[in-house]
Amino acid sequence: MLKTIVFAILILFFFERCAQQVPPTGGKRDSIPPMLVESNPMNKTLNFKGKKIELFFDEYVVVDNINQKLVITPESDNPYSYKQNGMSVLLSFKNQFKDSTTFTLNFGDAIKDFAEKNPAKNLKIVFSTGNSLDSGRVYGTLKDIRTNKPIFDALVGLYNVSDTLNIAKQKPYYFSRTDSSGVFSIENIQTRDYKLIAIDDKNRNMLFNAKDERMGFWGKTIKAGTDSVAYQLNMFLSDNTPLKVQRTLPKVNNYAVVFSKPIENVEVTFANKDSLPYLLEPNGTNLKFFNVEPHPDTTLVKLKTLDSLGTTNEFEQKVAFQAQRGKQRQLDPLSFTTVPEANKPLTNTFTYKLILNKPVRTIDDQKIALISDSLTHEPLSAFKYSWNKNHNILTIDAKSFAKDTVKWDIPKGSIISVEGDTLPKTLLRHTILKEEDYGVIHGRVTNADTSVHFIIDLVDEQYKVVETHYQSPYTFKNIPQGKYFLRVTIDKNRNRRWDTGQMDKDLQPEPVYYLPDKILLKANFELNDINITIPEEK
């Protein structure tokens, strides 16, 4: 009897396993996109007067974010709704389209098949409300001028020529967006004069936001349809918004004036022979005054600022600190950064910067010492050093005979800020650079007029500047093993920095050229004749 029961249980278990549902393995994944089989109106229809456009496909489709992805040129204020119906999509527009105009509807990847979401490729409908189709075309490439990288999904527009053109308030008449290679093509446009302008358009409102969007423009008016040239546009940041004092941050210890955008420099003039320590913080937007006794309740200052576009502005500002409530102030801690960065190897002869977050009142150059190989101690007074005008950046020209390491020994109390606080005991250690662990790059700038001034940058793969020279031939020494780019900027105004462009002044940014090939540098190697050619101006 027991054997019979066990046998019955085994039979039930076997049939239960056989009855389990297993997902089918299926065949190959459907990778074929939906195909447009018919449209109403048909592509390239003339004299179209309707307000509805319907597309018919060879399979069931879905609509994906069509309000963002459908690009209609020329731009027109004609709202629409859509209806998805199995194998068709119907667009219903509020108004009739403008007369005697060629319109292009580019759907991008807004329509996909139902099963696998494969987007329809090159889905575009062109029609005219007049007797002919416009055939003009403008095409080209777009890249970032500082990195030489193509820019994806930027808006490239053709604007009506006007003395009052303001791309922050006016949308382009025709436009397209760049592909992943930075290529753009605007087709079926009227043959007439336009301004060719590109913007990042991050929020896709088709308007330029100078605060955080790049732009680029072709300096001359173009005649679309007659020029067969491929336009190459360079994009750059150019915040031309008026500088304002955005807000103030009064505290017991300090008073910050916050500007609406970063500034390069500020001149501070105190009224009535008053004076306060101050500095412009690294972000370029915060000008901070420090509460040092004695001073009046309110200090009047005049500010003359210089921004990245070379524009100067003047402000009057009243500086008034908050009243102290407790017996002691709660101070922000004194901190610092260094150049070179902490733990970075140094040569035996080097320039060192100590950058503090507050102006310094006193420094004891006898207590601060450079220790070589833990053997010799040389006081800071033995070296040449200097302060910047705000007394928060100390620059030291130093020399050691160390073989392994050097250390800056900064005892507690040897640096005292204007607020009376000090750094804790600090030891800054750097190994001595061994030349066999690094490489050298030699080269020159060719085809450059002798009157041309330039900036030669070696940049890493993240486009961070490793080293800069201003003369040709050049030599980059003690470069870590790695991959690099060589970049040359034409320094037209000889200020030893790259200057951006300004469309409202028809001023292009200073030209930037890259060596076409990436530089591969190995340790203990020396690369010669890494030359970069500046193209002749046309």
- Indicate the class that CATH gives domain 245-319: mainly beta
- Cα 497-312-200 angle, rounded to 5 deg: 60
Contacts of 327 (CB under 8 A, 6+ apart): none
Asked if the domains at 36-128 and 336-433 fall in one CATH topology, the answer is: yes
- Indicate the class that CATH gives domain 36-128: mainly beta
The CA radius of gyration of the chain, in Å to the nearest whole number, is 33
- Which of the listed CATH numbers 3.40.50.970, 3.30.1390.20, 3.40.50.1390, 2.60.40.1120 matches domain 437-533? 2.60.40.1120
Peptide bond into 340 cis (omega under 30): yes
pLDDT tens per residue, the chain (538 residues)? 444 444 444 444 444 444 444 444 455 566 789 999 999 999 999 999 999 999 999 999 999 999 888 989 898 789 999 999 999 999 999 999 999 999 999 898 899 999 889 999 889 999 999 999 998 899 999 999 999 999 999 999 999 998 889 999 998 999 999 999 999 999 899 888 999 999 999 888 889 999 989 999 999 999 887 666 899 999 999 998 999 999 999 998 999 999 999 999 999 999 877 889 999 999 999 999 999 877 778 999 999 999 988 899 999 999 999 888 777 778 889 999 999 998 899 999 999 999 999 999 999 999 999 999 988 999 999 999 999 999 999 999 999 999 999 999 999 999 999 999 999 999 999 999 999 999 999 999 997 777 889 999 999 999 999 999 999 999 999 999 999 999 999 999 999 999 999 998 999 999 999 999 999 999 999 999 999 998 876 5
- Cα 18-21-23 angle, rounded to 5 deg: 130
For position 220, what pLDDT does the model report?
92
For position 45, what pLDDT does the model report?
96
CB atoms within 10 A of CB 92: 14
pTM over 0.95: no
For position 18, what pLDDT does the model report?
46
Fold for 336-433, please state it.
Immunoglobulin-like (2.60.40)
CB atoms within 10 A of CB 501: 22
Q: Which residue has the tokens 């100067």?
A: 312
DSSP 8-state symbol, 219? S
If 0-12 CB within 10 Å is exposed, 13-18 middle and 19+ buried, where does residue 113 land? buried
pLDDT, one tens digit per residue, over 425-441 is 999 999 999 999 999 99
Fold for 136-237, please state it.
Immunoglobulin-like (2.60.40)
Tell me the HSE value of 240 on the side-chain side, using a 13 A CA sphere.
16
Q: Which residue has the tokens 């358009």?
A: 201
pLDDT, one tens digit per residue, over 212-263 is 899 999 999 998 876 668 999 999 999 989 999 999 999 989 999 999 999 9
Q: What is the 3-state secondary structure (H, E, C) of 90-118?
A: EEEECCCCCCCCEEEEECCCCEEECCCCC
For position 280, what pLDDT does the model report?
96
| In the chain, where the domains are located | 36-128, 136-237, 245-319, 336-433, 437-533
Q: Structure tokens of 511?
A: 């030209």
